Amino acid sequence: MRNLVIVLCCLLPTGSFAAAGEASAPAEDRPALKVNEVEHGAYFGVEAGGLFLFGPKSAGNGGFSPGRSFGITAGYEIQDFLSLAVLVMGSSISTPSGFSSDFTPEGSNSPMQGNFSSLLLGGMVKVSPIGFADSNSVKRLYLYARLGGGYALMSPKNFYEGGDIALLGGVGLEYFTHLRHFSLGLSADFFYGIQHMGPGFSLSPTLRYSF
């Protein structure tokens, strides 16, 4: 019994030192959470501005026709410099006084007259080959070129026979803000409606949210 008491007394300081050592050992630092300065990936964007047609096809009094456009894009950046998107763009065109389209509906003696609108359903590819870094070496400002097209539904229904195949392409600037999900831009595009709307151009500010 006496020997057992002596052994326990010898072990107690060892256990105390071990516990003290464990208590004094510094806790390991947790790895810092890495946050992207600029988000690239899936995105949703809007753009609105002016659409100006040099001369829609007409039976009379054709000419320069200003208008307004509003577009929605949803896409994905395959790389920081390359993205693909679907495009929906509506426009309203104000034609010259007395303008008449080049289509005469069945049962009518004269072509349709007045203003018209269109709804473009299509896609777009954008390439951003040049980027400029800020003072923290983060690329925020990009120069891009884009090309798109699709099928445009025309309104009023009988203004033109069927719809139109439209193409657009141009250049722009895009700035990725310090609110890392948002970017602002300005796009200048050449527009061409192959069947009815003819050539034109658009100038549109853009806003994009990236996930």
- C-alpha distances in Å from residue 89, one per residue of 5, 41, 120, 122, 143: 90, 22, 5, 9, 22
Q: Which pLDDT belongs to residue 17?
A: 45
Q: Which pLDDT belongs to residue 84?
A: 98
Q: Which pLDDT belongs to residue 110?
A: 86
The domains located in the chain, with CATH, are 38-210 (2.40.160.20)
Q: Which pLDDT belongs to residue 161?
A: 84
Which residues have CB under 8 Å from 149's CB, separation 6+? Answer: 122, 123, 165, 166, 167, 168
Residues of the chain with pLDDT under 50: 4, 8, 15-20
pTM score, whole prediction: 0.80
Q: Which pLDDT belongs to residue 24?
A: 53
Q: Which pLDDT belongs to residue 32?
A: 64
Are the CB atoms for 57 and 101 separated by under 8 Å?
Answer: yes
Rounded to whole angstroms, the Cα distance separating 41 from 96 reads 43
Q: Greatest CA span in the chain, whole angstroms?
A: 126
- The two structure tokens encoding residue 102: 């080049």
Q: Which pLDDT belongs to residue 139?
A: 95
